[in-house]
Amino acid sequence: MKKPVMINFAKRMVKQKDALSALLVTGSDKVESGFGNGDCLLLDFSRLLFVVSDGSERHPNASRILLERLVDVLPAPLSFDIDAFQAAIGKIYAGQKYTYKCTFGFVAFYKNRKEVTACISSGGDSMVIVADSSDGSIIFKTSSDMNFAGRSKNVPGISTFTLKDRKFRVIIATDGFAEALNNIERKNGKLPGWIFDGSVCCAAGKFRRRFKTKKLISYDDIGMIIVDPFSLCRDDKIIIAGGTLPAKEALFASSFASRRGKWVEKERWHENSELFDSAGIIIK
């Protein structure tokens, strides 16, 4: 069964019906200070592979370079092979320049009839979280470390997590997501229930609305992907968003800051490619 994937370029959001939502937000003072957006999202629906990376202010495009390299080194079609994943991560880390320091948060899903296996890796302070949507409890969370791409000689390892309960949701996010969420609503060891209320494809939108309502004065770049792994469907497209240089970020801010945006179906992506590019979104 196919499920449509849609993009809102003005809000930098992606969703798949009942299965996934993603959001990219630029930090509060980045454009005014002449910086780009160092957070980058990779949504590879063809291989059920979802990744975030967070680059530095000096080289915000380092995150995009890392994730584009990952797309290039992984075989297509992709078998669920942990050794192949580990080799690919090793290659992208080895190819990253020292000055292009960035984080890495990675999940690949393999769907069986009654369960989903998640292949998880992370380096730096980006994170992967497995949560119970019924009460917001965190079942699994990667730990922050010093294994930044471009700096560390240690390549992040891979863990596998078997998901058998359909209540489980997976979040792949940069540190800006955790900081903003903590400012919106403090919870002791749990995620707030409103994130999981209703369809998962609306979760990023609810986060964005709460974020805007709270009127936070200072915040970092935010990159987040939230997934219902049991509802995910393959598609033939790969979406990369973010990792933008200052000129691109200034163009986005001046072009789309006051626009509400609209959801664009895959059949119309080609005709909107220039608008996507202005928002720092590319389709492969």
User: 253: domain CATH number?
Assistant: 3.60.40.10
pLDDT band at 130 (very low <50, low <70, confident <90, very high): very high
Mean pLDDT computed over 18-32: 90
Average pLDDT taken over every residue of the chain: 92
Sorted by sequence, the CB contacts under 8 Å of residue 93 that are 6+ apart come out as 123, 149, 150, 152, 155, 156
| Helices 62-73, 82-94: crossing angle, 10 deg rounding | 140
Cis peptide before 192 (omega within 30 of 0): no
pTM of the model: 0.95
Is a pLDDT exceeding 90 seen at residue 212? no
Q: Residue 274 has what pLDDT?
A: 92
Q: Residue 92 has what pLDDT?
A: 96
Sheet holding 37-44, edge to edge: 159-163, 116-123, 104-111, 49-54, 37-44, 238-244, 281-283
Is a pLDDT exceeding 80 seen at residue 83? yes
Q: Residue 86 has what pLDDT?
A: 92
Structural domain including 261 reads 5-283
* 192, 8 contact by CB (below 8 A): no
Is a pLDDT exceeding 80 seen at residue 185? no
Q: How many CB atoms lie within 10 A of CB 108?
A: 24
Is a pLDDT exceeding 80 seen at residue 74? yes
Q: Which residue has the higher pLDDT, 28 or 282?
A: 282
Return the beta strands (E) in 26-115 as ranges: 37-44, 49-54, 104-111
pLDDT band at 257 (very low <50, low <70, confident <90, very high): low
Model confidence pLDDT, tens digit, residues 13-24: 999 999 999 999
Q: Residue 77 has what pLDDT?
A: 66
C-alpha 82/C-alpha 157 separation (Å) is 10
Q: Residue 218 has what pLDDT?
A: 80
- Quote the number of domains for the chain: 1
Mean pLDDT computed over 159-165: 93
Q: Which helix (H) or strand (E) holds 276?
A: helix 273-278
